[in-house]
Amino acid sequence: PGTLKLRTDHFEAEQQRKEEEKRQERKWRLQQPQPPPRIHYELCNRYFHARIGLIGNQRHKHGQSGRSSQEEAE
């Protein structure tokens, strides 16, 4: 019976150590400078880091589908 408790304690300690490592990694990543946004949208003069942000902006702010007419034809 003692070895099961010992293994459980060891497993839980290892899980806590891994979670703490993940937390520290996340904190470190958030502290790193982000590159400047690259995608410029002339209609509202905004810049976006990723295409998904541009598409969401087009859909919700400008009533567009976010797809080009060529993509819609396919």
Domain definitions of the chain by residue range: 1-32, 39-67
Q: In the predicted model, is pLDDT for residue 69 greater than 50? A: no
- Higher-pLDDT residue of 70 and 55 is 55
pLDDT band at 2 (very low <50, low <70, confident <90, very high): confident
- What is the pTM for the complete model shown? 0.48
> In 3D, which of 70, 20, 61, 18 has the Cα closest to residue 41?
61
pLDDT band at 68 (very low <50, low <70, confident <90, very high): low
**For 5-58, how does the pLDDT look when each residue is reduced to its tens digit (9 = 90+)?**
899 999 999 999 999 999 999 999 999 998 899 999 988 889 999 998 889 888
